[in-house]
Chains A and B, each alone.
Chain A
């Protein structure tokens, strides 16, 4: 049985893996519609959350500052509006695909990364 050279079990493996991968990619567009819808729903949920949490946290912070420093109602008012701004900023960044970097620096050359992937929600 083992007289002839045993066939290399890995001979066609790379090729087979490549073929399987290619098939996988080809199959994806078929389910694209539903996947896109689900992604959209998830993304929408994330956007809403981003805005609400920003305002909520900022307002709570303002309330706490007022409580400690006795500056009622200025802390809560100022931080409420700052919270709206921060929430809008986060939403804008998430939507325009630069995800969540703080600061306006657009990466001149992305370090081996795709920063405009929006498929995470």
Chain B
């Protein structure tokens, strides 16, 4: 009896509520459902945890406070002065990605961050926001970001395009890093799970590896949310201070 291995099946998008507006498919899909759940879960956690705020925090309040302090620390140390006004943005981003990643770890759920369009949309928002803030704060002087200091004029012809390119590549690295990590991890889990299903008595070995991999995946889920948030902070800090 052969068991079909389809490790990529878990990433399939399914329409839950088919909906077409003006020839555009805006169906409510399983990915959209998981995103809604992530938003609702994160909001619920913060609301419930802070509703009965006590001086000595309970369990839920501790979680919320840890999350808050973690992001506040990150914002303070990476944006520095005037960074607190970006705290809501960074916190929302971090909480959403963290919840999306962690909810994806529940068996039979769906990992929205394994869709590149989702991560790219997030990265594009960051990119546009950073550029807009830089231009609003510094006007044309923002373009001086692309002109290295103390370089002969002739070399600028070469260096400015390189700087510009390395700036424009950011949303791609930002989104591909998150997407690739989640996609690769979940595919690996499915492959080893498939091995376990097809090996019979020898299934112990792939199962053991899978147990370890699940732990690793939890690490990756949290770490990638952190990386996304901290890079956002670095980019914001750069646009605010222009170094």
Identify the A interface with B (CB < 8 A).
9-10, 13, 38, 42, 46, 49-50, 53-54, 56-58, 61, 79, 82-83, 85-87, 89-90, 99-107, 110-114, 117, 120-121
Contact = CB atoms under 8 A, between A and B. Distances in A.
A100 B234 contact: yes
B243 interface: yes
**B interface: dominant SS:** helix
A9 B56 contact: yes
A56 B176 CA distance: 12
Interface residues of B, number: 43
Contacts of B151: 104
Interface in B123-155: 144-151
A87 B151 CA distance: 20
Contacts of A56: 172
Nearest to A111: B80
A113 B173 contact: no
A87 B162 CA distance: 9
5 contacts: A58-B169, A61-B165, A86-B163, A101-B234, A105-B148
Contacts of A113: 77-80, 237
Interface of B: 55-56, 76-81, 144-151, 161-163, 165-170, 172-173, 176-177, 180, 219, 223, 226-227, 230-231, 234-235, 237-238, 241-243
A38 B231 CA distance: 19
A89 B162 contact: yes
Contacts of B168: 57
Contacts of B56: 9-10, 13
